[in-house]
């Protein structure tokens, strides 16, 4: 059971013991930092989750292999160029980036992970990246300044940096565990497409197989429960490094491990929600909650279908408590349910009862939807499982951002 949850403002990936980071500008993007290096003082255990898109950037294919080894020392990440759809030259450039970091840090080359985000189909500006790696390695540090520099270096169209840190304790752990993390998102653009990247650090000692299981489960209910426009990038990746330098050790499954999964999930959710909140053109963060489904997978699929429905998202932009669209979207998720049992809520307003129209305070529901963070709930009244998916609305600005950019 989680007994303590204390978030540390303005802290990020170096909040747990054993990590240093830096973020520098080497000129890939037109403005701001664009290259970061994260290093673990010891050999870290690692877990990774990668895009399921069949078109994959060089870094995705490479880092998946590295992460499978279970041990790493560093991550190098750049923004401004995705190094996707660049063929063999892309693979070679990606390896060079890892090699430079490996040589400068004097760590094995297969202990360096890579990540990229930005424009696709353009070769990487390798001279700039080489200089960036030099600078970044020279500036490795821990603390608020370094954390902030690094998160700025992974942003593309994000309108604000997304990073978090927390110290968490559980009655099953010997010592509190520290969590750090940064992510970027904001939709599939910037300039050709954007990417969900998340880098997480912990100081627990945990074998990489367990770490991977924990990350899989945490990502399912957090980053994989966020949708901006349903599009999945060629570059999406989430990496978790465990330094083992804190006072807690979890080496087997059991309650301490379950508590870790819960804490990691909750930590990832705080980051994931920021991605939905900052979706392109978003005016609000929407919690789509499907309750009392026969199983979690069905609840999640329905919630995601609702969250990705353009008609639902435009209605939310218009502050319209349009329950018909909620039911329509739920119905097309491919998960059977009895339409005559379904209740729907906008906030606390019951807007549909047993699949039928019901009298409700339309003005009240409309006013509620003007909030910056709102709930829409579909209650299937069939079982006991629930799922939440976070999304944002579709506004004119989504069209503007995505139509007015020219390759």
Nearer to its own copies, 249 or 320 (CB): 320
Among residues 6, 65, 356, 370, which is the contact residue for its own copies, using CB under 8 A? 356
- Strand pairing class (237-242; 373-379): unpaired
Does 370 sit near its own copies (CB under 8 A)? no
Phi, psi (deg, nearest 5) at residue 112: -120, 120
Helix (H, G, I), strand (E, B) or coil at 134: helix
The DSSP code for 77 is: E
Residues 140-199 that bind its own copies (CB under 8 A): 187-189, 192-193
Nearer to its own copies, 160 or 396 (CB): 396
Torsion of CA 356, 360, 364, 368, to 10 degrees: -30
* Contacting residues for 358 by C-beta, under 8 A, at least 6 apart: 350, 351, 352
* Number of chain residues interacting with its own copies (CB under 8 A): 71
Least distance from C-beta 229 to its own copies, angstroms?
Answer: 4
Among residues 70, 366, 368, 383, which is the contact residue for its own copies, using CB under 8 A? 366
Radius of gyration of the chain (CA): 22
Residue 195 designated active-site? yes
Q: Which residue stretches of 183-237 are H helix?
A: 208-221
Least distance from C-beta 188 to its own copies, angstroms?
Answer: 5
In 3D space, the residue among 134, 112, 144, 143 whose CA is nearest the CA of residue 40 turns out to be: 112
Site string for its own copies, 43-72 (x = CB under 8 A): ---------xxxxx----------------
Least distance from C-beta 64 to its own copies, angstroms?
Answer: 15
Q: Which of 117, 195, 234, 391 is catalytic?
A: 195
Angstrom distance (rounded) from CA 220 to CA 32: 32
Residues 212-231 that bind its own copies (CB under 8 A): 229-231
Least distance from C-beta 90 to its own copies, angstroms?
Answer: 8
CB 43 within 8 A of CB 80: no
In this structure, the chain runs to a length of: 407
Least distance from C-beta 306 to its own copies, angstroms?
Answer: 11
Nearer to its own copies, 43 or 328 (CB): 328
Residues 101-130 that bind its own copies (CB under 8 A): 119-122
Angstrom distance (rounded) from CA 61 to CA 265: 25
Residues 303-342 that bind its own copies (CB under 8 A): 308-311, 314-315, 317-318, 320-325, 327-337, 339-340, 342
Residues 229-258 that bind its own copies (CB under 8 A): 229-234
Among residues 357, 367, 371, 384, which is the contact residue for its own copies, using CB under 8 A? 357
Residue that the structure tokens 């904001």 belong to: 186
Active site residues: 195
């Amino acid at each position: 059971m989680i007994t303590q949850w204390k978030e540390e403002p303005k802290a990020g990936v170096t909040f747990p013991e054993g990590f240093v980071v830096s973020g520098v500008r080497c000129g890939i993007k037109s403005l701001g930092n664009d290259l970061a290096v994260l290093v673990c003082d010891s050999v870290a255990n690692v877990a990774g989750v990668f895009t399921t898109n069949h078109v994959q950037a060089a870094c995705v294919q490479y880092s998946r292999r590295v992460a499978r080894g279970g041990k790493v020392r560093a991550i190098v990440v750049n923004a401004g160029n995705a190094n996707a759809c660049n063929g063999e030259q892309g693979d070679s450039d990606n390896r060079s980036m890892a090699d430079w970091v490996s040589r400068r840090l004097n760590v094995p080359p297969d202990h360096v992970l890579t990540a990229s985000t930005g424009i696709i189909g353009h070769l990487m500006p390798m001279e700039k990246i080489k200089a960036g790696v030099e600078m970044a390695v020279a500036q490795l540090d821990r603390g608020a300044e370094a954390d902030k520099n690094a998160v700025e270096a992974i942003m593309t169209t994000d309108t604000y940096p997304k990073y978090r840190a927390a110290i968490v304790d559980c009655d099953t752990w010997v010592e509190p565990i520290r969590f750090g993390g940064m992510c970027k998102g904001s939709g599939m653009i910037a300039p050709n497409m954007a990417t969900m990247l998340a880098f997480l650090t912990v100081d627990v000692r945990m074998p990489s197989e367990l770490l991977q299981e924990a990350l899989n489960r945490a990502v399912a209910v957090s980053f994989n429960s966020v949708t901006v426009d349903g599009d999945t990038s060629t570059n999406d990746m989430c990496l978790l490094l465990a330094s083992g330098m804190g006072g807690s050790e979890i080496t087997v499954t059991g309650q301490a491990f379950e508590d870790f999964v819960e804490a990691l999930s909750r930590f990832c959710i705080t980051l994931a929600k920021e991605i939905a909140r900052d979706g392109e053109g978003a005016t609000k963060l929407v919690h789509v909650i499907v309750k009392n489904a026969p199983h979690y997978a069905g609840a999640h699929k329905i919630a995601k279908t609702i969250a990705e429905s353009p008609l639902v998202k435009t209605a939310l932009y218009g502050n319209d408590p349009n329950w018909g669209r909620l039911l329509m979207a739920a119905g097309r998720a491919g998960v059977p349910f009895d339409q005559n049992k379904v209740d729907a809520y906008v906030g606390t307003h019951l807007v549909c009862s047993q699949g039928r129209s019901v009298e409700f305070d339309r003005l009240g529901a409309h006013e509620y939807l003007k909030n910056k963070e709102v709930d829409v709930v579909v209650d299937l009244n069939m079982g006991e499982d629930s799922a939440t998916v976070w999304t944002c609305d579709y506004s004119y600005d989504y069209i503007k951002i995505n139509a007015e950019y020219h390759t």
